[in-house]
Amino acid sequence: MTTFTSIAARLEGQAIELPSWAFGNSGTRFKVFTTPGTPRSAEEKIADAATVNRLTGLAPTVALHIPWDQVDDFAALGRFANDHGVSLGTVNSNTFQDNDYKFGSLTHTDPVIRQKAIDHHFACIDIMNQTGSRDLKIWLADGTNYPGQGDMRGRQDRLSDSLQQIYARLSDEQRLVLEYKFFEPAFYHTDVPDWGTSYAQVSALGDKAMVCLDTGHHAPGTNIEFIVMQLLRLGKLGSFDFNSRFYADDDLIVGAADPFQLFRILVEVVRGGGYGPGSPVAFMLDQCHNIEDKIPGQIRSVLNVQEMTARALLVDTEALTVAQEAGDVLGANGILMDAFYTDVRADLGAWREERGLPADPMAAYAASGYQQKIAEDRAGGTQLSWGA
């Protein structure tokens, strides 16, 4: 039987990157609701992310999305982050909100538009050089809506060429992670729809290119933990975009829709060496908080990841192997479920207190007055939205 005490040390140093866009207003195509205190600048988004880190100790870096977080001086933004106890992390490119990219970006048939998309990634790498970021994350909206609309093979070949040019710009310390998504905004075919395509593309580039797995980007019923296992086995799982979903790419709080799935994913992460010092796997959130307050939404999210990580670490792997090899179906399943059903919340509260953190970060945030303060301080100006 594995106990919390025996795994406590392994929770040390867990890091979950926060997306800057989670702090902006967001919504659906029907309505974007505004929230008092929503940031008006990249700096205010970082200050909010730093608040999440201060109360949880789990979120030392903030991901940027370019041009949503475009500023004049990225080195200064990095110093601002450091002054608030965090640093700038992954740089996300954006080729999905420009009229030129209506028919594609890195896959476009027009060499001028394709070059524009490549140049945007060069600009992102320039930013990474100023912020000290390691990862360039590429997610493409490229695809078609109707059979026959595009030559899927030609688009794949152009994508490969574009990625090679971008990859060649990376320094030895930098990485490229390629995110896949099975549909949306394209509805017939997407140019990077699945882990296999992402794997094929990044494998052709080299060791510094890896796959990014967004947990919301699969068809319903997909066994995501199998994909996690396979990518770790192949040495190509670079990062996660964590969120949860009931229907499509809902971007809800990770662990909210299906905590058991999050547990199963983290079991495979631990099993495959994707967790702990030296692991190449970056944990990130990719979420939107349409109706709930954003900062506590992010606090809840990182706590959910921590809680399920603890439960995954609690799996008695020795006993599990014995049961598996003995063909003990129910015994093996029972060992896994014992870990899943272990309530680690009280132990984690004590673990936090031992480290000078609030036992209950959600309650600490509510009592901190931060939400009221930003609602007052940020009354003027324009609130930022997802995408601006």
What is the spatial distance between Cα 185 and Cα 188, in angstroms, rounded to a whole number? 10
Q: What would the two tokens of residue 25 be?
A: 């207003």
* Smallest gap from residue 67 Cβ to Mn ion (A): 17
249 near Mn ion (CB under 5 A): yes
Residue 65 or 311 with smaller CB distance to ligand PSV? 65
137 vs 352, beta carbon nearer ligand PSV: 137
Q: How far apart are CA 124 and CA 109, in angstroms?
A: 22
* Interaction partner, residue 191 (Mn ion, ligand PSV, none; CB < 5-8 Å by kind): none
Using CB under 5 A, which of the segments 2-10, 51-59, 201-209, 245-253 binds Mn ion?
A: 245-253
**Contact call for residue 17 and Mn ion (CB under 5 A):** no
Residue carrying structure tokens 């983290």: 266
Which of residues 4, 21, 195, 242 is near ligand PSV by CB under 6 A? 21
* β partners of residue 190: 143
User: Does the footprint of ligand PSV cover residue 17 (CB under 6 A)?
Assistant: no
Nearer to ligand PSV, 183 or 340 (CB): 183
Closest chain position to ligand PSV (CB): 139
Cβ proximity of 173 and 191 under 8 Å: no
Distance of closest approach, residue 185 Cβ to ligand PSV, in angstroms: 9
Strands (E), 69-134: 87-92
Alpha carbon of 236 to those of 240, 301, 344: distances in Å? 12, 25, 31
| Closest distance of CB 62 from ligand PSV, Å | 14
Q: How many helices (H) and strands (E) does the chain have?
A: 14, 10
Q: Please state the closest distance from residue 202 (CB atom) to Mn ion, in A.
A: 16
Asked, as a colleague might, if the bond just before 67 is cis with ω within 30 of 0, I would say yes
Q: Does 214 bind Mn ion (CB under 5 A)?
A: yes
> DSSP states of 20-78 as a string?
GGGGSB-B-SS-B---TT--SSHHHHHHHHHHHHHHHS---EEEEETTTT--S-HHHHH
Residues in the interface with ligand PSV (CB under 6 A) total: 9
Q: Which of 56, 92, 131, 298 binds ligand PSV (CB under 6 A)?
A: 92
Comparing CA positions, the residue from 226, 301, 300 lying closest to residue 265 is: 226
Name the binder of 92 from Mn ion, ligand PSV, none, CB < 5-8 A by kind: ligand PSV
User: Which positions lie near Mn ion, rule CB under 5 A?
Assistant: 214, 241, 249, 286
Q: Which residues contribute to the site for ligand PSV (CB under 6 A)?
A: 21, 92, 139, 179, 181, 214, 241, 249, 286
